[in-house]
Structure 1
């Protein structure tokens, strides 16, 4: 029996997250969530269980409310890099979840790297 798109997404999400946990223990996680209309990202310290910084296209200050395209993702990436520096985070690892690394996820990651985050 063929797996549904949702089942494949869940398997990919767990596979990615488990591999990253083994390799990057002790580092802050840059967690990305993408929907059809918005994209959001959080810097999470798993040791303390706290969110250190977040950015999303839902913030009206970014000017991309309801947009999910590469330009909006790049702006969110730059914003999270600035907020990470303010929180004292320079190095993290990218947890893309079950999303493929292309399009908006790639644009966000590239913009965050250009903003000064290392992963």
Structure 2
């Protein structure tokens, strides 16, 4: 499964990007004959590759993240978890893989990117 992100790399997928003038040596399979019929000039169809995107979320779980201001029900870590959850949800909705790294001074846990919500 591919993600929904367009790449700057030119490819030959189903997603049309633009026309460009034919240059000697180009593959004639990609000549747009309808454009040639209208303009008497050779143009190639160009396509954009769709790419997979791996989103890595890094969550600081150190003691300083447990700070909570007076009268606030949520700690900094609670807010960071909510933000990470929202970003993961957005990425998964676009069929992108999401991975999580937790750190607290040193690397604590690594969950490799996956397209399956867990």
Question: Does TM-score exceed 0.5, indicating one fold?
Answer: no
Structure having the higher Rg = 2
Instruction: Give the structure-1-normalised TM-score.
Output: 0.29
More strand by share: 2
More helix by share: 1
Instruction: Give the structure-2-normalised TM-score.
Output: 0.29
